[in-house]
Structure 1
Amino acid sequence: MNFIRSLTLRQLQIFVIASRCPSFARAAEELHLTQPAVSMQIRQLEEAIGLPLFERVARKLALTEAGERLSHHASRILGEIKDAEDAMMSLTQADSGSIAVSIVSSATYFAPKLLALYSQQYPKVDVHFSVGNRETLLRLLQDNATDLAIMGRPPPELGTTAEPLAYHPHVIIAPLSHPLRHARRFDLQELAGDTFLLREPGSGTRGVVEHMFRQHLFVPARSVTLGSNETIKQAVMAGLGVSLISLHTLALELRTGEIALLDVNGTPIERTWQLVHSRSKQLSPTCLVFRRFLLEHAAPFLEREYAQFALRPPKGSERIGGGTAADAGPSR
């Protein structure tokens, strides 16, 4: 049968209402139509199907077997349409729905706290986090598999829109037993004999430290690659070496006094957290509200959390707009 192609939503709506009423006259009242208009729509529906949908039993309308089956399917169809309308309405109201956000691993130390603040205001919104290094986020942006990404320097090879969220200092950490723990403003070359603990290739933090090495013509005596910020921090505390790492990953260790910040010339290396999305992506109203929330709250939150640990910024890193002069290098 090809009758489905000739059905209209209006016919299904009239049929479902009529199937619940004892007469076409009562259905017409509920639909604010005339009885002949209801009868005509039902007749056209029956002609399209090729089967009677109603019969008279004791002077009342009753559904035939075909009518019973069609009533079930018609109610489901109209229910799905109502669900779709509700879903679209929720998007326009920006207080429900879902958002996909991808973050580099260094952002896991503060992004969940911002999400908790956001969820207090918008409890019906479901935010999905995915975590990876910079290369992973680039793939997600390229594949249009994420709405927003929190990362460092936006990828020049992709068509993206990037907005600065907050300053992101990188600092050199060492074990508490390091001989230069209390030294002030010494050169990076003083650490030439130390083992440097590095993140994996493809990580933004790895890019920052390699850029620093090039700038200072620095070659460490030895380097060891480790796969996460947590592993690096544990290795530093164990006395295995020193490392350049995001200040925003160190709140716990600095508060408990388990790790030392070295006051090296040229540090902290100022970078900027960026909120990035594909230029071709149409952000939903819910996503736009979340974006605005992050832009308004991220910087004040991070400044409150880490102000007590901030070192003096290096000379030549004047803040320009959403970043610093040092932002020309690689990012997280």
Structure 2
Amino acid sequence: MKTVTFRQLRVFTEVARHLSFVRAAETLHLTPPAVTMQVKELEAAIELPLFDRQGRKVSLTTAGEYFLVYAKRLLATLKDADVAMSRFRKLETGILTVGMVGTAKYFVPRLLTRFREEHPGVEVKLQVGANREQLLTMMTAAEVDLAIMGRPPKELATRAEPFAAHPHVFVAPPKHPIFRSGHPPVSALANYPLIVREPASGTRALMDRFFQAHRVEPRIAMEMPSNETIKQAVMAGMGLSFLSLHTLGLELRAGEIELVHVEDTPVIRTWNVVHLPSRVLSPAAEAFRYFIIEEGENYLAEHDRPWLQPTAEG
């Protein structure tokens, strides 16, 4: 084990993540033979095979699964050491990895562009989780420095700081019969099919709580893991939906989707910037944390203002 290098550990974890030597090579900007050589040297150093190879199919051996846990710990410790040293250097440089739920992709890249204008020495990377659970996995594996999400996790010790309101609304295609009611009660939604997010998403959890609070049983016609697919289905007239207002700017401006001003909506949640208190934030991550807390609310308020009724905020 004395000859194991951090380079070998990085290569090993990438192959384990993709279960592909070719994809790991692409991610690391190496050639596949170079990746294979690093893994073979690592296996020789620990005197155990880490992967089963059957043609193009790659899987971890039992020893490989155990070793992956320790490899990730070692790499996370090395990253923490680098962060600590950068604090001594007082440099806002390096790589900032921001994780986010899919809904946040509609505004986080624009905020990151503003952030880069103030901090040009920082290289920014984005990691998008398909849903909240996937993002929590990224945080636990130290794959992201900070995460932008709605409901903070209760199952993981984190520091969550709210920075902006996050309205959720019901939407329908133009000229849908529900618009005849003007300001329909929640019970009116039971008459129409709903196209909704999958149960693991924060949006779905919020919708379920909303209907439970109003003692209404919704007609769920379809579950989809993508906001974009749901919007297309709504525009095609397949049903109504419950979505984050922050996903709807283009469609609302084009008149392809309209808000249904159901009683007791919008449902207001908050956006949070979240990180693990057990890990030291780099100067770049700390700077972005301050930036989004200071700038995020005003930016999103400008987006929301044209669509929300003045009385809806209460």
In the superposition, the TM-score normalised over structure 2's length comes to 0.70
| Of 219-228 and 159-168, the range deviating more from structure 2 | 219-228
Q: Say if 1:232 and 1:287 are closer, same or farther in 2 by CA, change over 3 A.
A: same
Match of residue 289 from structure 1:
287
Match of residue 118 from structure 1:
115
Match of residue 124 from structure 2:
127
Higher-Rg structure is 1
Residue number among 154, 162, 165 corresponding to 2:163 in the alignment: 165
Residue number among 253, 258, 261 corresponding to 2:259 in the alignment: 261
- What is the Cα deviation at residue 201 of structure 1? 2.0
Q: Say if 1:143 and 1:217 are closer, same or farther in 2 by CA, change over 3 A.
A: same
Match of residue 98 from structure 2:
101
- What is the Cα deviation at residue 200 of structure 1? 1.3
- What is the Cα deviation at residue 313 of structure 1? 5.9
Residue identity in the other structure for 2:94: G
Residues of 2 paired with 1:94 and 1:261: CA distance? 46
Corresponding residue SS for 1:197: strand
Residue number among 124, 147, 152 corresponding to 2:150 in the alignment: 152
Residues of 2 paired with 1:225 and 1:247: CA distance? 19
Residues of 2 paired with 1:91 and 1:215: CA distance? 51
Q: Say if 1:111 and 1:207 are closer, same or farther in 2 by CA, change over 3 A.
A: same
Residues of 2 paired with 1:147 and 1:170: CA distance? 27
Match of residue 189 from structure 2:
191
- What is the Cα deviation at residue 90 of structure 1? 8.1
Residue number among 121, 128, 136 corresponding to 1:138 in the alignment: 136
Q: Say if 1:255 and 1:182 are closer, same or farther in 2 by CA, change over 3 A.
A: farther
**1:1-332, aligned counterparts within 5 Å?**
88=85, 92-132=89-129, 133-181=131-179, 183-312=181-310
Corresponding residue SS for 1:139: helix
Corresponding residue SS for 2:191: coil
- What is the Cα deviation at residue 182 of structure 1? 5.5
Q: Is the 8 A contact 1:172 1:261 kept in 2?
A: yes
Residues of 2 paired with 1:220 and 1:142: CA distance? 35
Q: Say if 1:140 and 1:166 are closer, same or farther in 2 by CA, change over 3 A.
A: same
- What is the Cα deviation at residue 216 of structure 1? 1.4
Corresponding residue SS for 1:129: strand
- What is the Cα deviation at residue 186 of structure 1? 1.9
Corresponding residue SS for 2:178: coil
Residues of 2 paired with 1:182 and 1:99: CA distance? 49
Q: Is the 8 A contact 1:192 1:220 kept in 2?
A: yes
- What is the Cα deviation at residue 177 of structure 1? 2.1
Q: Number of residue pairs matched?
A: 232
Residues of 1 paired with 2:290 and 2:278: CA distance? 19
In the superposition, the TM-score normalised over structure 1's length comes to 0.66
- What is the Cα deviation at residue 95 of structure 1? 2.7
Q: Is the 8 A contact 1:97 1:126 kept in 2?
A: yes
Residues of 1 paired with 2:253 and 2:152: CA distance? 32
Over the matched positions of the two proteins, sequence identity in percent amounts to: 44
- What is the Cα deviation at residue 306 of structure 1? 2.1
Corresponding residue SS for 2:166: strand
Once the two structures are superposed, residues 63-98 of structure 1 have per-residue CA deviations (whole angstroms, 9 ceiling, x without a partner) of xxxxxxxxxxxxxxxxxxxxx99x955874343111
Q: Is the 8 A contact 2:233 2:239 kept in 1?
A: yes
Gaps in structure 2 of 5+ consecutive residues:
1-80
Q: Is the 8 A contact 1:91 1:97 kept in 2?
A: no
Corresponding residue SS for 1:224: strand
Q: Is the 8 A contact 2:86 2:282 kept in 1?
A: no
Once the two structures are superposed, residues 34-58 of structure 1 have per-residue CA deviations (whole angstroms, 9 ceiling, x without a partner) of xxxxxxxxxxxxxxxxxxxxxxxxx
Q: Say if 1:234 and 1:283 are closer, same or farther in 2 by CA, change over 3 A.
A: same
| Of 105-114 and 215-224, the range deviating more from structure 2 | 215-224
Q: Is the 8 A contact 1:171 1:245 kept in 2?
A: yes
Q: Is the 8 A contact 2:86 2:283 kept in 1?
A: no
